[in-house]
Amino acid sequence: MRVLIGGGSGFVGRELTRLLRDKGHEVTVISRQPGPGRITWGELESRGLPPCDGAVNLAGENVLNPLRWWNESYKKDLFSSRIDTTKTLSQAIAASSSPPRSWVLVSGVACYKPSLTAEYTEDSNWTPFDLLSQLCKEWEAAAFLPESAAKTTKQVVIRAGAVLGQDGGAMKQMLLPFWLGLGGTLGSGRQPFPWIHVSDLAGIIARSLEPPVLSEATPPTPQVYNGVAPTITTNYEFTKELGRILRRPTIFPVPKFIMSVLLGSERAVILTQGQKVIPMKTLESGYQFKYPDLTSALKQIVGS
Ligand code: NDP
């Protein structure tokens, strides 16, 4: 299978590329930078979709980029880096004379309203309630194929929680303070912390790329999968387990207002609030998680 991965140079994309190449598939990355095994977004726009059996979009400016202050220009980049790239790919797929069989977008669980009690499956209804949920709505809408293209290309949206792995994402920023014994709960610590090991997210994407069985009865809407581990975890449980595995104290809670000052209140909600997300359809699809619980995931990431 030939797979085209927008943003494939990033944290999730590198893991997905490794997995697909190990299975004998060919990967081409779409990037802002030209290079071997890559095409640029400009080339995609001007030349159209190269021959491929599956396409994925993982491009997006990092929401927790510690080097960027929360301001209008950053918010604009968060939106355009996701929506414009997704639109470019979906339009190229729709215009292609030999479209891929599968088209996968990874979006986020920020579409679901944070709550200490509500539980969300892929079937839960939601409407935008803040900036990040509005971003999810526009991002997923940008992936939507017209009905004619949806007859030949399976559409999948995977809503990922915080992706944990050795090589990037949230762990990269968290490990140093935890190693130094400065780790602690964020805000009240009672907020759910939906997470997934990067290897499982890559596994769910790879599975979604597998040839679809499309029929006349297949609705022209995307199949949605929650990309989160099946174990519901709070920020307190995550903090204590990481501290236990690292054998470091976790006695310095970070108050919510400090997070809001450091990150901006609209962005701090990612860490100080959370959602209980259930991967109901993901489990029903038969996907077997390699790291279904936090202990096995963290041990793989930081060593036992
Ligand atoms: P990365 O932060 O590693 O970024 C992925 C790629 O996006 C980069 O390698 C880069 O590719 C491209 N990119 C970055 N900034 C821009 C920009 N301003 N304009 C266009 N392209 C840009 O992402 P992850 O691999 O961690 O995540 C993959 C996707 O999953 C993202 O869309 C992310 O929002 C989503 N997601 C991630 C979560 C996580 O915890 N990591 C949680 C939930 C969702 P290049 O430089 O080659 O152009």
Q: Tell me the two tokens of residue 230.
A: 């099946």
What's the token pair of residue 190? Answer: 């009672």
Verify whether ligand 1 is closer than 6 Å to residue 106 (CB atom).
Answer: yes
- What pLDDT, on a 0 to 100 scale, did the predictor assign at position 221? 86
| pLDDT for 225 | 98
Ligand 1, atom 14: closest residue by C-alpha:
61
186 lines ligand 1 (CB under 6 A): no
Check if the beta carbon of residue 79 is closer than 8 Å to that of residue 110.
Answer: no
Q: Compute the distance from residue 106 Cα to the ligand 1 centre, in Å.
A: 10
CA of 121 relative to ligand 1 center, distance in Å:
24
Q: Which of 80, 71, 70, 88 is nearest to 30 (CA)?
A: 88
Predicted pLDDT at 219:
72
Q: What is the DSSP letter of 55?
A: E
- The rounded distance, in Å, linking the Cα atoms of 77 and 70 is 11
SS3 293: coil
What averages of pLDDT result for each successive group of 10 residues across the chain (304 residues)? 98 98 98 97 98 98 92 97 98 97 98 98 97 98 95 96 95 91 94 98 97 69 96 97 96 92 92 97 97 97 82
Determine the Cα–Cα distance for residues 249 and 292; give it in Å rounded to an integer: 25
CA distance 155 to 144: 8
CA distance 281 to 173: 31
Cβ–ligand 1 distance for 170 under 6 Å, the answer: yes
280 C-alpha to ligand 1 centroid (Å): 25
Whole-number Å distance, alpha carbon 154 to ligand 1 midpoint, is 23
* Residue 62 Cα to chain centre, angstroms: 11
Which ipTM score applies to this complex? 0.99
What residue's CA is closest to ligand 1, atom 47? 31
pTM of the prediction? 0.97
Name the strand (E) or helix (H) holding 270.
helix 265-272
Q: Give 161 Cα–ligand 1 centroid separation in angstroms.
A: 14
Q: 57 CA distance to ligand 1 centroid (A)? A: 9
**Domains of the chain from N-terminus onward:** 2-302 (3.40.50.720)
**Ligand 1 pocket mutation pick from 4, 5, 11, 132 by most atoms within 8 angstroms of CB:** 11
Range list of H helices, 161-252: 169-179, 198-209, 235-246
**DSSP 8-state assignment for residue 59:** -
